[in-house]
């Protein structure tokens, strides 16, 4: 629920997307600017603007150099993925807004390790990308050769099986693309996974069409072995 209103006392990590949070050094808030624009305010100062679409404060991290807020931005289209950026609020109330980054996955899970914030951005052209934010700087490490022969995560494999493959076979529209079974919601998620070398997407497409024409789906254990690295 994008703009759920609830009472928020300051925590070192705010765990839900909100449009307002009180940091140790002042109020961080998302407000409308005119009819078609949203702004991210720190106090009375606009530090980021978004024309149309959405802004959300995803999480706030406590670090030695102040507070770091993770903010998501979206143009608002049904197939448009989120971009993100960090806002570093220092003890003297000065603010650093870093450039946006664009994950290849629909849901990121940032992890804090001391004063570093680490974000797995997913796979881009078969290469896993890891972003690290520390002391006002961010960098992206490309882990070449990682993951190709590794087993996928269970959530991703379950999603492909239950939400796309099985539903596609049930729907019996075998000339359409499997990933479009629920429109842009499944197409977007499928496309975000498509650069992950741990999945055999060629086999997934073939299996989906074959199963659809037969009108029956294989068991999850068999699907997992064929598509998700066993």
84-122 tens-digit pLDDT: 999 999 999 899 999 999 998 888 999 999 999 999 998
23's CB contacts (< 8 A; 6+ apart) are: 10, 60, 67, 69, 89
Q: Which of 56, 114, 120 is nearest to 87 (CA)?
A: 56
Whole-number pLDDT of residue 40 = 95
Chain centroid to Cα 48, Å, comes to 20
Whole-number pLDDT of residue 146 = 52
Q: Does the pLDDT at position 66 exceed 70?
A: yes
224's CB contacts (< 8 A; 6+ apart) are: 157, 161, 230
pTM of the full predicted structure?
A: 0.72
- Output b/e per residue, 85-117; b: 16+ Cβ within 10 A: bbbbbeeeeebbebeebebbbeebebebeeeeb
How would DSSP label each residue in 54-108?
EEEEEEEEEETTEEEEEEEEE---TTPPPEEEEEEE-TTS-EEEPPPB--SSSS-
186-222 pLDDT tens trace: 988 898 888 888 899 999 999 999 999 999 999 999 9
Task: Report the alpha-carbon distance of residue 85 to residue 227 in Å, rounded.
Answer: 33
**Consecutive H or E run containing 22:** strand 20-23
Task: Report the alpha-carbon distance of residue 66 to residue 192 in Å, rounded.
Answer: 33
65-79, 99-113, 146-160, 199-213: least confident range: 146-160
Average pLDDT, the chain: 86
Mean pLDDT of 153-165: 92
- pLDDT-derived band at 11 (thresholds 50, 70, 90) equals very low
Task: Report the alpha-carbon distance of residue 133 to residue 53 in Å, rounded.
Answer: 25
Q: Which residue has the higher pLDDT, 84 or 75?
A: 84
Q: Which residue has the higher pLDDT, 159 or 153?
A: 159
């Amino acid at each position: 629920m994008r703009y759920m209103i609830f009472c928020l006392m300051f925590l070192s990590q705010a765990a839900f997307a909100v449009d307002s949070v009180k940091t140790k050094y002042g109020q961080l808030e998302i407000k409308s600017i005119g009819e078609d624009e949203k702004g991210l305010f720190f106090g009375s100062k606009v530090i980021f603007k978004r024309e149309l679409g959405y802004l959300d404060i995803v999480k706030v991290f406590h670090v030695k150099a102040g507070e770091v807020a993770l903010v998501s931005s979206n143009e608002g289209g049904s197939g448009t993925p989120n971009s993100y950026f960090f806002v570093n609020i220092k003890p003297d109330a000065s603010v650093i807004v870093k450039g946006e980054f664009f994950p290849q996955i629909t849901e990121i899970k940032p992890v804090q390790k001391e004063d570093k914030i680490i974000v797995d951005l997913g796979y881009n052209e078969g290469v896993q990308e890891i972003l690290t934010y520390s002391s006002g700087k961010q960098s992206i490490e490309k882990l070449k050769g990682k993951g190709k022969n590794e087993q996928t995560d269970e959530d991703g494999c379950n999603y492909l099986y239950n939400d796309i493959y099985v539903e596609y076979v049930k729907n019996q529209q075998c000339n359409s693309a499997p990933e479009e079974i629920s429109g842009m919601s499944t197409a977007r998620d499928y496309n975000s996974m498509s650069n992950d070398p741990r999945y055999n997407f060629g086999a997934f497409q073939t299996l989906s069409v074959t199963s659809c024409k037969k009108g029956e789906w294989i068991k999850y254990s068999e699907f997992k072995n064929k598509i998700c690295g066993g």
